[in-house]
Structure 1
């Protein structure tokens, strides 16, 4: 493992810093720049009910903000910090750049203040499960580690806490990588690259290039972890001197992490058995292999890897076991927001499922290619949301189907359709914004309403 030269903290004392976009990252970034001696100002173009929690935090921390439009006050700044959802080509950003105002992102800003080694993960699918599992493996091995990034805890919050953990595991999105300039993880992984966010990135080539920016500041002694089963990631070329370790759930790798059908291996050493990993699907085997490769590169003793897998319960909304009632097993995969994540969920089960799917489908997303898989893996389709008619039209000739409005109606129909021994899988394959504020709200609605209405006495997954 490389030694770490910690970056210089941004010199912001007395500077005016505008944070564009109001949300969790914006509030954390504003608090951080104020701690650095700067004067923060948050500017948000929208004014919707979903902003209420963040408005409340602005009031709590006495952060000045404008809501419902970017006024000239926003441009009275020495630095722009973008929330992840704000693209570089947004008019407000272009105007700032044309005026000579430097532009950065919350992750980049926070990473320059971080005095702990960063272990970073990106990819279209699997980021959250992989980062949470890596954090679990590190803590199981006795490391004081933190977890941050594109999840419930921005990296800025880790800095604000004031502690210096032995490592910080960071989930990184392509949006965050757009503004990453000095971001330097000592170990970094790209899990996969499949079509997603193309309306923002423009093409698969541009999307993959953005993902590969996670390696841009790595150097001799650092490690890049790549998925040998994914053509886009396998073709990535980290900087000279960076060690490259690949992982594969499908073939043997003499120098990497791989799955032999029974055991998860690092080079020729068996680390754990497949049954030690309690979350379903070959994709989660791949995620665990990536974790093994990253932990090993960081110098972690993997003697306890199997036990760490056995004690890992999984992550909420990612093919999450919810309950079993009357012989019917329910899974919540609300994080499924694109066709590839729907494909992964369907492939995780050996038997046909009653599938609840639909929502706000994404521009350019390829649902057509899923037809053979849906025909083979789905016993009945319950289509919801804006894409409901599209899904029933696309898959209706292959499977029995019903069109309903949302999650609550879908629960009732699923219970009426499913027979003893069946699996009900909520894997929307679409974004949630047609009816819900986010995928978390959508998933928790499934769990709370189903438990209440069906009155199950469920045996919760104990991990």
Structure 2
């Protein structure tokens, strides 16, 4: 069988490695220049490839094509493949054919990385042989090619879910649906929601689906599907009356199943904000479903402090708590970050604007934010959006000065929050670089305090 892979990133490389190990005739084609580490990988494993363009004669002679999830369907080579009738699948679909372990699939517009890692943490602490893959870390195909696991915890984007046909999760989780990546879906929230709900595809009555019962978009489109999988709705607003009941109030999270019931006090959870209650309840529910003992869950939760760049506590220079939320590149992420604190916030915002509608943030900012630091090459849009609030505003194009300005406005016990709402590419390599520069500055300030 001849297999062509479009895209030479992590997803494509993983699929190529698995195909090679299966003895398939494989060829990688990338319209761009392949990153050095991936090119070296292909050469080392004797996998033929091309870069800087697609050769139609090579691509169109394949029996099947694996398309990397970042490649849209409206480019010329994909349209040619569709016209020719050559099957196009996703790397996730390809890998699932050969994986022997149980699949735990997690998606959502926000929170999926935290939930995925927390689930991994709980299963790992229980001694399960488990891998984390998909939209983070190694690709699913590379994990299967290099090792065999009992459980695969997959973070899946809507782009990855678009390309599945026979893929089936044993446990699936949908955390939320907000307006994101709509340019890929003809600006249709319905199309985006259905892509997310494709995670339910092929699931049976033996499988489990955990979802956010407070999300109106999920509720609107879930019941179109008439799924037969077992449903586990989660709420932070409503005390569920029917089993299974998974909900929380200001004191604890409650889990009521047919077999048992228990609660977990919030002081065991070191993840700020109501959104992290959804993430935690989802991860705990998954852990219970695969058989992690309750005592392991309650002992493991306090040792999980979240992921870098996601409301990450970095220290408290001058007794001002500093949080790095550089991953927050959309309005919905900023919204949950601002709602995570009950003290005045000095908010560092800005970067490469993605056409955000900032008006939805105005009520929250009016309630939560003490001052705004605009960090970017061009801050005009943000300053114009928030000027009517009458808050103190400063602008800078330097992270160090942004933190200094924020500290000059903060009092002990208050919070400095880097939650940009924008892409990072105007001043930084990526959101990690932006967050790391923030953390480096905080570390420097703490060191100076220690030696003062």
Q: TM-score, normalised by structure 1?
A: 0.89
How far is the alpha carbon of 1:210 from its aligned partner? Answer: 0.6
Output one character per residue of 1:226-247: Cα deviation in whole Å (capped at 9) or x when no partner: 1111112233135543111101
Residues 1:24 and 1:240: Cα distance change in structure 2 (over 3 Å): closer
Matches within 5 A, 1:50-449: 51-72=35-56, 73-163=58-148, 165-202=149-186, 203-235=188-220, 236-237=222-223, 239-254=226-241, 255=243, 256-267=245-256, 269-363=261-355, 365-385=356-376, 388-398=379-389, 399-449=391-441
In 2: Cα distance, 1:139 partner to 1:401 partner: 45
How far is the alpha carbon of 1:452 from its aligned partner? Answer: 4.2
Could you tell which deviates more after superposition, 394-403 or 291-300? 291-300
Cα RMSD after superposing both structures: 2.2
Could you tell which deviates more after superposition, 286-295 or 69-78? 69-78
State whether residues 397 and 427 of structure 2, in contact with CA within 8 Å, keep that contact through their aligned partners in structure 1. Answer: no
Select which of 7, 16, 21 maps to 2:2: 16
Residues 1:360 and 1:313: Cα distance change in structure 2 (over 3 Å): same
Output one character per residue of 1:249-285: Cα deviation in whole Å (capped at 9) or x when no partner: 1211132211032111112833310111011111111
In 2: Cα distance, 1:248 partner to 1:149 partner: 27
Output one character per residue of 1:403-432: Cα deviation in whole Å (capped at 9) or x when no partner: 222534423433443333331111111233
Other-structure match for 1:27: 13
In 1: Cα distance, 2:80 partner to 2:376 partner: 36
Output one character per residue of 1:149-189: Cα deviation in whole Å (capped at 9) or x when no partner: 111221112102222x2211111110100001111111111
State whether residues 226 and 234 of structure 1, in contact with CA within 8 Å, keep that contact through their aligned partners in structure 2. Answer: no
State whether residues 29 and 53 of structure 2, in contact with CA within 8 Å, keep that contact through their aligned partners in structure 1. Answer: yes
Aligned residues, how many? 440
How far is the alpha carbon of 1:449 from its aligned partner? Answer: 4.5
Could you tell which deviates more after superposition, 304-313 or 176-185? 304-313
Residues 1:166 and 1:368: Cα distance change in structure 2 (over 3 Å): same
Residues 1:434 and 1:97: Cα distance change in structure 2 (over 3 Å): farther
State whether residues 318 and 334 of structure 1, in contact with CA within 8 Å, keep that contact through their aligned partners in structure 2. Answer: yes
In 2: Cα distance, 1:376 partner to 1:96 partner: 53
Q: 5+ unaligned residues in a row in structure 1: which ranges?
A: 1-14, 459-463
Output one character per residue of 1:302-348: Cα deviation in whole Å (capped at 9) or x when no partner: 34322221121211111111122221221111111210000000000
Output one character per residue of 1:367-410: Cα deviation in whole Å (capped at 9) or x when no partner: 21111111221212122236622111101232211222253442
Q: TM-score, normalised by structure 2?
A: 0.91
Q: SS state of the match for residue 397, structure 1?
A: helix
In 2: Cα distance, 1:441 partner to 1:108 partner: 32
In 2: Cα distance, 1:333 partner to 1:317 partner: 5
State whether residues 315 and 446 of structure 2, in contact with CA within 8 Å, keep that contact through their aligned partners in structure 1. Answer: no
In 2: Cα distance, 1:113 partner to 1:243 partner: 25
In 1: Cα distance, 2:352 partner to 2:249 partner: 38
Q: 5+ unaligned residues in a row in structure 2: which ranges?
A: none
In 2: Cα distance, 1:291 partner to 1:247 partner: 11
State whether residues 271 and 306 of structure 1, in contact with CA within 8 Å, keep that contact through their aligned partners in structure 2. Answer: no
How far is the alpha carbon of 1:444 from its aligned partner? Answer: 2.1
In 2: Cα distance, 1:157 partner to 1:376 partner: 47
How far is the alpha carbon of 1:453 from its aligned partner? Answer: 6.8
Could you tell which deviates more after superposition, 372-381 or 178-187? 372-381
Could you tell which deviates more after superposition, 400-409 or 312-321? 400-409
